[in-house]
Chain A
Amino acid sequence: GQNIDQPTEMTATEGAIVQINCTYQTSGFNGLFWYQQHAGEAPTFLSYNVLDGLEEKGRFSSFLSRSKGYSYLLLKELQMKDSASYLCACEGSGANNLFFGTGTRLTVIP
């Protein structure tokens, strides 16, 4: 079966750094996606990790540890527009192979 856990809500201050964690248990793990979703909008792709380690992309970085079943999304220099839900999704094996967590709603405050 598939089990993906991430915190439901987080709050952080503008200009700060926030880390959103995701733990997973899946069969046939191939990689992990992070998506951003603003309220009332569709999810948009942020990152994909297949190897262990940190992938940096501007203010956003994503980390993966396959042996620990753990990933995090790191957001630096937070801006008000970063207030959104962040979805962790694991890629397994098979035709239907993408499984989403319930998402973390991040609120950035002044």
Chain B
Amino acid sequence: DVKVTQSSRYLVKRTGEKVFLECVQDMDHENMFWYRQDPGLGLRLIYFSYDVKMKEKGDIPEGYSVSREKKERFSLILESASTNQTSMYLCASRPTEPTNEKLFFGSGTQLSVL
């Protein structure tokens, strides 16, 4: 089975801290995604990557950056955490082929910024 692993299940950080959320997948998928999920707003795409060192902005990239130095790892970085970044963060991956393959999700990181 495909496994997408997020390094932390729960995180508590202070305003202004730099925060790293790590995601690793073990199925050689080309595409990796970072979403945040908030009540009433659903899943919103922050950034995605379709290859090593490649990244594309999603719908809400402001306040975030990403890094993909290796194919299996996709990191989300909050340069200076703010309280409005308190959310559930979900990492996902999928292969490029077949084109209709489902997304495989990690178990999520609940981030609280105080």
Contact = CB atoms under 8 A, between A and B. Distances in A.
Interface in A84-110: 87, 91, 95-96, 98, 100-103
**Could you say which interface size class chain A belongs to?**
20 to 34
Nearest to B54: A95
Contact of B45 (A41, A96, A102): A96
A96 B102 CA distance: 13
A26 interface: no
A31 B98 CA distance: 13
Interface in A2-43: 8, 30-31, 33, 40-43
Interface in B36-58: 40-43, 45, 48, 50, 56, 58
A60 interface: no
B42 A102 contact: yes
Contacts of A8: 40
Nearest to A94: B56
Residue with the highest number of chain A CB atoms closer than 10 Å, among B42, B58, B99, B110: B42
A103 B40 CA distance: 8
Contact of A30 (B31, B58, B100, B103): B100
B105 interface: yes
A46 to B, nearest CB: 9
Interface string B73-89: 00000000000000000
Interface of A: 8, 30-31, 33, 40-45, 48, 50, 87, 91, 95-96, 98, 100-103
24 contacts: A8-B40, A31-B100, A33-B103, A40-B108, A41-B107, A41-B108, A42-B106, A42-B107, A42-B108, A43-B105, A44-B105, A45-B102, A45-B103, A48-B102, A87-B42, A95-B48, A95-B56, A96-B33, A96-B45, A96-B48, A101-B42, A102-B40, A102-B41, A103-B42
